[in-house]
Structure 1
Amino acid sequence: MTRPATPAHDVVIMGGGLAGLTLALQLKRRFEDIDVLVLERRSHPVPLAAHKVGESSVEIGAHYFDTVLGLKPHMQEAQLRKFGFRFFFSEGRRDIDQVTEIGASRYLSVPSYQIDRGIFENYLADEAARRGVRFVDGAVVRAVDLAETADAPHRLRWTVDGVTYIARSRWVVDACGRAGLLKRKLGLARPNAHDANAVWFRIGERIVIDDWSDDPAWRARCEPQARWLSTNHLVGAGYWVWLIPLASGSHSVGIVADPKLHPLDTMDSFDKAMDWFRKWQPRLYDELDGKRDKLQDFMFFRKFSYGCKQVFSAQRWALTGEAGLFLDPFYSPGSDFIALGNTYITDLVARDRAGLRLEARAQLYDQIYHSFYESTLTLYQDQYPLFGDPEVLPVKVIWDYTYYWGVLSQMFFQQKLTHLALLGELREQLVHCQRLNVAMQAFLRSWSAVSHKRNPAVMLDQAALPWFAELNRSLNDTLDDDGFRQRVRDSAALLDALAREIVERASQAHPGLDSGALGRLLDEKSPTVSDEAARPAMLFLAASAMG
């Protein structure tokens, strides 16, 4: 049975998960009168806890949810505020209080959240409907016919309970996740060279890592004494394990691993994963062994990382979220890239509504978005072997955060993503930061190959680095264009200074260590006064990590 075609919509979003629903809300927040239809395959409400993986957010994604979309009351009341990232070099150990810990002893200024995806996506669907979005669950998209001319509408055919519907739309957005309807239709899939696998499950009970030691001094290192609210990482060479609490009372547990060191077939069932924990992370095995009856689900992805040839088009289509590309769950960039992509899509829709040409703008947005993707990919590709290095990984984490907060986060928080003229003015500094990051990742690999990998019982407290805490706080500043120009220049100088400090410290410990491309890049640029002024403040963590 086929129903008649509906009136044309402004935007049809295929997929009513995190990416699709947040885009719908962003469009309605920008244009109260916009007609948005969201087609979601799953029936609502979705289950809590064991719904979708991807529960941890970081600063860009968190700011997108609570401020850009205006969802702060929900985030604060129905989700958990995250106590930052935390790392333990606990491979083969049960005495977690006797290993190196990386983390902050207190909350930093800018919040992030642990998100129960079931709670959140149910809320988003209700909120979208309240704001005037037409949300249809149980809808299966059968065909998408893209317009062949500039002004013709796209046509979609979908079914609900055996009834076929047809719609016309000026814009169509694929937010279907890995199903990637438009990606498959247009042949946009592109592999990348990052080879890693992931397994995960949810347990219907809290995992309180604070209870893994009864040492009052160890517990007192953090205020609040609630390490369990962090995204906790148990790390070793070639892998990391995540522990993420959910507001529903469950806990998400995952293993992400380089298959060259930890093959997927050693962990691709719950029983195998438990055997793997018993060998590599025995304290977590102890915690989970008595909770086997509370297992809520188990899933895995083989080679989860991939790219996409194009995500935005002047022909009035776009891809967002995992329908486009996916990097790695380390540092939780998924919601960040949803925020970035949805912001670009919203601006393209706005320009189209204003009657402006889209060709050049869509192409540039696509290039910039892919540049963000390529820059972030370097944080992961070929880096997993050094995850078990208690001397190098702490420095990598500080570097990666500094690059993230100092460059990409500043663009998003200061609402400059679509200010192409301003970004063009700063191209030299932005490209320099990007080149520094690529060279730093290679240097970290070289350093880890010769490091002593000492694992002392120490907490490397990120909150005790004044410049680091200030960089986080600075995301809350409101800058005009001149202020933003200076902020990017300051970030470039900070990264230069930090890179020099890292190279010098590592070379002192290992005189034969070649600084390679990083050294040559730093040699091209003489230290500035601001570089030198920043250096002493950086010694705390670097000296602690390097011994």
Structure 2
Amino acid sequence: MSEQAGTPSAFPDFPDVDHDVVIAGGGLAGLCLAKQLKDAHPELSVLVCERDRSPIPLSAFKVGESTIEVGAYYLAAVVGLRDYLEEHQLEKLGLRYFFGDRPDFHRESEYGVNRYLPAKSYQLNRGSLEEHLRLVVAGTGARLVQGVRVLDIDLGEGDAPHRVTYQPDGEGEGTTTVTCRWVVDATGRHRLLQRKLGLTKRFAQPHNSVWFRLEGRLDTDELVAAEHTAWHERVQGPRWQSTNHFMIEGGWVWAIPLAPHHTSVGIVVSDALHPVTKFNRIEKAVDFVVERVPGFDPAIRKLPVLDFRVLKNYSHSTHQLFSHERWACVGDAAVFADPYYSVGSNLIGYANSFVTEMIGRDRAGTLEPDYVRYANRWFLSLSEGLTQNIQGAYPFLNNPVVISLKTVWDYYVGWAFSDPQFYGRTFLDESASTTLSALGGHVVATQGAMLNLFKAWARRYRGVFEFDYIDYYDDLPTLARLFEQNLPATDAEVPPFGQVLTSVRDGIDRIEELAHVVFYLALEDALPEHVASVRARGWLNVSAVSLEPERWEKDGLFTPRSRPRPEQLAQLEAEMRRLYRAATPAES
């Protein structure tokens, strides 16, 4: 059966179709895209086909509850959900990490923030959020068909329309076929177009995850007795509202609060160190969590379990997610980056914004294949780089000093270089993005060298430094300044390119200085005999840092690629050294 929408196409000189855009999948990515498209181009006829019917279950629905600043800004400002998020979802007290195997939890090293950041982020109850989004999308004039399963996407050649076939899920054999100018696969891990076109890419080392939702609160603050007042007082807000990571060798355990009164618990690990058979049933998973976070026992065993899911080899990418032939993939139907930094909603924002831009250009008759190739290259470089950078650190996630410095490094790169491109929308402008990429070429090269440095340092770690608590905002004023200078003053503001360019240049300088400091600290721990000679050489080419002294001259470590900034370096080094102290000798 074919359906006729009765609405003329919004594309000039294009034959009538049932809909201008069909979105296969009405989860977070698909619904946000429908809202973004209708806001940008109200004349578009948009159809969303979704398998799950209302009402959506609350907490026991979908994983992906944690956002960080860019993803939260996308939902709040671009999609227009700020008032809803403020009223119905939990504000997030940042990312928080705990390190150590000591029985006294208050003695573990902790990395987090003590108060809410100027740019908000949220913990999302995906069930209530997506139920609300359905109402929002319907209010834009887009059409949402629930309870249907998309069977096939038949891509038209040239200017021929695409055909999307769906049927009621579990309610008979009848099918409906609709035609469209654009089709977007938002079917999640079903990945209809990826599978049909053979586009899926896998990462070399598999990583697995399980998660379950509990009815009630699994409170991180209750892991430490009230008598340990210094531990409780160093964080002003409730730790429960952070995305809490409990670090282990080869992975981490999460505890995330969900409105109104639920907790999400998960295990994310490298398969090489923790085979999925260790935790592939709820009883095993609870035992695994309790072994790492004994203070959660007995509460974790008493709270009712709402669901339990296992996901093997969770990360994937694609050879292509945008096409000049008028199709695209978004959300998990495109890529699934490692969840360690809660970047899923960031990537939804980038991909959906690219799709909205392409459809706008197509309507104007200005969409060129070169732009689509650029968009694919830009997005996949970001998403695959994130996963490779994160998963490269899994073997030493339990090393508090090395991984805390790597996390500071990653925040510098994100807040000072990547995030301004979203706030300023420069990633959508190939010319502006090319200018920023040229500036950041040194950062990209340094990023690879630094990841290798962290890996090598972790293997040779001697334990010279330690810390109790690092507040990655209040204790790092240079990072906080870089963060604040990039934030739009209002939801409607888009910083001009000149402002973004100035900010990125400033951030690149600070990133280079940080690389010097981290290298010095690594030498003091792993190669103390080389500290004096390296420092005597002055300003370095930080894209050549390593713990291989025999390669330093050949790799050009002592051939700087930028002007020396000794005063700024000294200031940043003093700031960073305040975070750590000389380690206390272990008791025999």
Residue 339 of structure 1 corresponds to: 349
Quote the offset at 1:542 in angstroms: 4.5
> Residue 105 in 1 paired to residue 114 in 2?
yes
Q: CA deviation at 1:274?
A: 2.1
Aligned to 1:231: 243
Residue number in structure 1 paired with 2:43: 33
Moved more, 137-146 or 477-486: 477-486
Match of 2:272 among 242, 260, 285: 260
C-alpha separation between the residues in 1 aligned to 2:522 and 2:149?
55
Q: For residue 545 of structure 1, report the CA deviation from its aligned partner.
A: 3.8
Does residue 161 of structure 2 align to residue 153 of structure 1? Answer: yes
Compute the displacement of 1:532 (Å): 3.9
Normalised by the length of structure 1, the TM-score is 0.95
1:201 maps to what in 2?
Answer: 212
Instruction: Using the TM superposition, give the Cα deviation of residue 287 of structure 1 relative to its aligned residue in structure 2, in angstroms.
Output: 3.4
The whole-number CA distance in structure 1 between the counterparts of 2:543 and 2:359 is 45
Choose from 464, 473, 487 the match for 1:476. Answer: 487
Matched with 1:138 is 147
Q: CA deviation at 1:286?
A: 3.8
SS of the counterpart of 1:379? helix
Looking at structure 1, the residues matched to 567 and 204 of structure 2 have their Cα atoms a distance apart, in angstroms, of 37
Q: Which aligned pairs between 1:522-533 and structure 2 lie closer than 5 A?
A: 523-526=558-561, 528=563, 530=565, 532-533=567-568
List aligned pairs for 1:234-253, cutoff 5 A.
Answer: 234-253=246-265
What's the CA shift string for 1:386-431, capped at 9, x where partnerless? 1100111110111111111111111001111111112222332222
After the TM superposition, which residues 14-29 of structure 1 pair with which residues of structure 2 at under 5 Å, given as runs? 14-29=24-39
Alpha-carbon contact 1:14-1:173 (below 8 Å) kept: yes
Give the Cα separation in 2 of the matches to 1:183 and 1:307: 10
For 2:477, give the aligned amino acid.
Answer: P
Note if 1:47 corresponds to 2:57. Answer: yes
Structure number with greater CO (CA < 8 Å, separation at least 6) is: 1
- 276-285 or 454-463, which moves further after superposition? 454-463
Does residue 67 in structure 1 map to residue 74 in structure 2? Answer: no
Aligned counterpart, 1:487: 503
Alignment partner, residue 462 of structure 2: 452
Query: 367, 373, 379: which is aligned to 2:383?
Result: 373
Cα distance in structure 1, aligned partners of 2:415 and 2:529: 29
- Any idea what SS the aligned residue of 2:527 has? coil
Residues 6 and 166, structure 1, Cα contact 8 Å, conserved in 2: no
- Aligned mate of 2:545, from 499, 518, 521: 518
Q: TM-score, normalised by structure 2?
A: 0.88
- Where structure 2 has 5 or more consecutive residues not aligned to the other structure, the ranges are 7-16, 489-493, 531-541, 547-554, 583-588
Q: 2:446 aligns with which of 412, 423, 436?
A: 436
Q: CA deviation at 1:96?
A: 1.6
Find the counterpart in structure 2 of residue 129 from structure 1: 138
Change (3 A) 1:20 1:392: same
Matched residues in 2 for 1:38 and 1:232: separation?
A: 35
Q: Per-residue deviation at 1:457?
A: 6.8
Matched with 1:84 is 94
Q: Deviations over 1:74-94 (max 9, x none)?
A: 111110110001111143x44
The superposition leaves residues 207-228 of structure 1 with CA deviations (integer Å, 9 ceiling, x where unpaired) of 111122211221110112x011
Q: Distance in 1 between matches of 2:24 and 2:581?
A: 50
Match of 1:427 in 2: 437
Question: Which residue in the other structure is 2:127 paired with?
Answer: 118
What residue is the counterpart of 1:307 in the other structure?
317
What is the number of equivalent residue pairs in this alignment? 541
Deviation at 1:278, TM superposition (A): 3.5
The amino acid of 1:171's aligned partner reads W
Residue 337 of structure 2 contacts residue 384 of structure 2 at CA under 8 Å; is this kept in 1? no
For the aligned residue pairs, the C-alpha RMSD in angstroms reads 2.0
Which residue of structure 1 aligns with residue 232 of structure 2? 219
Note the C-alpha offset of 1:521.
6.8
Distance 2:529 2:48 in 1: 55
Q: Does 1:401 align with 2:411?
A: yes
> Residue in 1 aligned with 2:283?
271
1:512, distance to aligned residue in structure 2 (A): 5.9
Determine helix, strand or coil for the equivalent of 1:97. helix
- Does the Cα contact within 8 Å between 2:255 and 2:266 map onto a contact in 1? yes
Distance 2:103 2:44 in 1: 56
**Percent identity of the aligned residues?**
34
Structure 1 residue runs without a partner (length 5+): none
- Give the corresponding residue for 1:390: 400
448-457 or 353-362: bigger deviation: 448-457
